[in-house]
Amino acid sequence: MTRKLKIGITCYPSLGGSGVVATELGKLLAEKGHEIHFITHSIPFRLGKFHKNIYYHEVEVNDYYVFRYPPYDLALASKMAQVVQMQDLDLLHVHYAVPHAICAHLAKQMVGDRLKTVTTLHGTDITVLAQDESLKDLIRLGINTSDAVTAVSADLIRETRELLDIAKPIDLTYNFVDKRIYYPRQCQSLKADYAPKGEKLLMHISNFRPVKRIGDVIDTFARVAEVMDAKLLLVGEGPELIKAQFRINQLGLDDRVHFLGKQDDVAQLISIADLMLLPSEKESFGLVALEAMACGVPTIGSIAGGIPELVSHGETGYLSAIGDTESMAANAIRLLSDEQLFKQFREACVRRAQSKFCNDRITAEYERIYYRTLGIE
């Protein structure tokens, strides 16, 4: 039997899909008997209850008086080195290139080459930050000094190579959902709270950053709401939320839109939706579209980044050019008006999520990468 590993995981613990994926991966690896050590500035929000085989090491930043900016990155690198030595870790798996891959590189300098590092690229670390000339060389160094690099879509691999001129192999490892949590649930009474008259429910979940094109979410919904009884559920918070509220009010749609704020446990909520809207400008993967797919909810979205690798156009959703809300609305109306077609899409969604993006498969891929990196075949 292949030996169980001791793995350090670093991610952004309090926000975003990258933190969710890192935390869920840690939990699944722990279930398989590996020992997982989260090294982060706070407890990952998806960690939840106590788990056997999972440990948490808090990064504390020294606020010494000469520091104008407390050096979080250095504190993280030191903590990584300390935990690796004290707990005798086999490797560090860091999510997001900056600063995590650089911190892992520094930790390796302290510990020595026996420490192996794996970096997973999630999207904005490349598509946004690598455009910044002041960070480009640093991100390239982080990637080139990692023993293995993975990315969450083929499109992200292409963009990483193009933007940073990276020649080393990058493993394509898609994001995943835990099929024990994300599956079609019957939530009739919750659905009735938002759609008492049987209205169609459209949903958007994000951090409401400009890249998500919230204006297109509203525009698409407004077009759908012109021809059928429909409601929009907006989940999450972020800088574009105020603008969204203003626009909804301008369009006279206040009583057809619910703002649900940030929600931790979205599996139940997604299950009451008929469609997920994801018209992003950039999206290396689009975890929320996968969560929706696993719950049997088709996505109406944009042809951006890795979305077309996830959403199969004409089978588990429809994709249109970025900004083409007319086409997005037409697709939504087509799907919502044809019961038979909608049923087919729902079934295809669950099948695709379980066959291509299921937790068992992707966790096994990460394990293979770890063993290969450590020279254990």
294 binds ligand GMT (CB under 6 A): no
For residues 220 and 332, give the distance between their C-alpha atoms in angstroms, rounded to a whole number.
Answer: 9
Q: Which residues inside 303-342 make contact with ligand GMT, applying CB under 6 A?
A: 305
Tell me whether residue 230 or residue 277 sits nearer to ligand GMT (CB atom).
Answer: 277
Minimum CB distance to ligand GMT smaller for 219 or for 283: 283
Beta-carbon contacts of residue 365 (< 8 Å; ≥ 6 apart): 171, 173
123 binds ligand GMT, rule: CB under 6 A: yes
Kindly tell me which of 177 and 332 has the beta carbon lying closer to ligand GMT.
177
**Contact, 289 vs 276, CB < 8 A?**
yes
Count of residues that bind ligand GMT according to CB under 6 A? 20
Pair of tokens at residue 120: 């997973």
Using CB under 6 A, which residues numbered 248 to 277 contact ligand GMT? none
Where would I find the beta strands (DSSP E) of 68-195?
A: 91-95, 116-121, 148-151, 171-172
Output the smallest distance, CB 237 to ligand GMT, in A.
13
Interface with ligand GMT, residue 231, by CB under 6 A:
no
- Which CA distances in Å does 332 have to 104, 230, 235, 301? 45, 11, 19, 10
Q: Considering the complex, state which of residue 195 and residue 273 has its C-beta at the smaller distance from ligand GMT.
A: 273
CB-wise, 230 or 289, nearer to ligand GMT?
Answer: 289
Supply 70's token pair: 């407390």
Tell me the C-alpha distance between 293 and 276, whole Å: 9
Work out which of 23, 173, 175, 320 binds ligand GMT, going by CB under 6 A: 175
The whole-angstrom separation of Cα 72 and Cα 59 is: 8
Q: Which is nearer to ligand GMT, 94 or 195 (CB)?
A: 94
Scanning 75-83, 119-127, 181-189, 361-369 for contacts with ligand GMT by CB under 6 A, the matching segment is 119-127
User: Does 219 help bind ligand GMT (rule: CB under 6 A)?
Assistant: no
User: To the nearest whole angstrom, how small is the minimum distance from the Cβ of residue 271 to ligand GMT?
Assistant: 20
Beta-sheet strand order (sheet of 299-302): 257-261, 230-235, 200-205, 275-278, 299-302, 317-320
21 binds ligand GMT, rule: CB under 6 A = yes
Q: Which two tokens stand for residue 6?
A: 């001791």
CB 121 within 8 A of CB 76: no
Out of 24, 35, 159, 283, name the contact with ligand GMT by CB under 6 A: 283
CA-based nearest residue to 23, from 333, 287, 280, 279? 287
Interaction between residue 122 and ligand GMT (CB under 6 A): yes
**CB distance 59 to 100 below 8 Å:** no
Q: How far is the CB of 28 from ligand GMT (least distance, A)?
A: 16
93 binds ligand GMT (CB under 6 A): no
Residue 185, SS3?
coil
Task: Provide the mask over 150-169, with x wherever binding to ligand GMT is found by CB under 6 A and - wherever it is not.
Answer: --x-----------------
* Residue 281: alpha-carbon gap to chain centroid: 16
Give residues in contact with ligand GMT (CB under 6 A).
16-18, 21, 122-124, 127, 152, 175, 207, 209, 211, 282-287, 305
